[in-house]
Amino acid sequence: MFRRDSPPPPPAESRPPHTDRTRAAYDTVAEDYARLLARDLDRRPLERALLGAFAELVQRGGGGLPVADLGCGPGRITGHLHGLGVVGMFGIDLSPEMVAVARRAHPGLRFEVGAMHDLDLANGSLGGVVAWYSTVHTPPEELLAIFAEFHRVLAPGGRLIHAFKVGDRRHRLEHGYVHAVDLDVYWFPVDRVIALLTEAGLTVDAHLVREPDEDERPARGRGQQGYVLAHRPEAA
């Protein structure tokens, strides 16, 4: 399904220009990111419910195929879904340091280095894709290509859950997770995300927007959070 050894990064000329900065930033923050967000799901019942719904849908209709957590970071969502009984969970992340943290935290699961825009996965090889805030550093003009890649690797009937920041703006992040970083963070309108998923060939089943909690006040550069459940049609 995918290589056991992490492939080297693609040649610089074939990579989107932001990927090197994103990789470097998350290599830097990996340990502290994992520590600071380790219990984040514990206080988010809505997110747990959505992930639970995704797990049930995948288990019901995924055909026994594996499920990929793309942009998995330290593997907390990968591990959570595995704990809900999703068979074949594995993670892929751009950052080798994040992958190393994930492997230590979840030694029974598989984690590999890779990029969402060019996945080392066969066509139709997945029963599910998780993209949990993993497009927040993707420029708007590249989002359709990412969604098309999700469509390519999903089997007919395969499920997607996508979490993202809701809005229409870009924020320059120079400090995060107690480190200096160099990142662009993007907010996307819900109707734009739905339109692009549809254009990529996916069918949107449900979408939800929640208001920010106390830790996500707009004054801190945060705001509404969006969630979409979608699938690849059987005939597509």
Per-residue pLDDT tens digits for 24-77 = 777 888 888 889 888 989 999 999 999 999 999 999 876 789 999 999 999 999
> DSSP labels for 19-60?
HHHHHHHHHHHHHHHHHHHTTGGGG-HHHHHHHHHHHHHHHH
In DSSP terms, 208 is beta-bridged to 227
Measured between alpha carbons, how far is 174 from 171 in angstroms, rounded to an integer? 10
Domains of the chain and any CATH numbers? 14-231 (3.40.50.150)
Q: Could you tell me the two tokens for 83?
A: 């704990």
What is the 3-state secondary structure of 140-206?
A: HHHHHHHHHHHHHHEEEEEEEEEEEEECCEEEEEEEECCEEEEEEEEEECHHHHHHHHHHCCCEEEE
According to the model, what pLDDT value does residue 181 have? Answer: 74
Furthest-apart CA pair in the chain: how many Å?
A: 47
Nearest CA among 181, 54, 68, 170 for reference residue 116? 68
Measured between alpha carbons, how far is 102 from 56 in angstroms, rounded to an integer? 24
Q: Are 132 and 48 in contact (CB under 8 A)?
A: no
The whole-model pTM stands at 0.88
By DSSP bridging, strand 67-70 and strand 126-132 are parallel
Measured between alpha carbons, how far is 184 from 99 in angstroms, rounded to an integer? 21
Q: Are 231 and 203 in contact (CB under 8 A)?
A: yes
Cβ–Cβ contacts within 10 Å for residue 58, how many?
31
Q: Are 67 and 88 in contact (CB under 8 A)?
A: yes
According to the model, what pLDDT value does residue 1 have? Answer: 43
- The conformation of residue 207, written as its DSSP 8-state character, comes to E
Nearest CA among 113, 167, 126 for reference residue 5? 113
According to the model, what pLDDT value does residue 10 have? Answer: 45
Q: Are 178 and 32 in contact (CB under 8 A)?
A: yes
Sign of the CA dihedral 8, 170, 48, 35? positive
Tens-digit pLDDT profile for the chain (236 aa)? 443 333 444 444 456 678 888 887 778 888 888 898 889 899 999 999 999 999 999 998 767 899 999 999 999 999 999 999 999 999 999 999 999 999 999 999 999 999 999 999 999 999 999 999 999 999 999 999 999 999 999 999 999 999 999 999 988 766 666 667 777 888 999 999 999 999 999 999 999 999 987 765 554 556 899 999 999 999 74
Cβ–Cβ contacts within 10 Å for residue 11, how many?
7
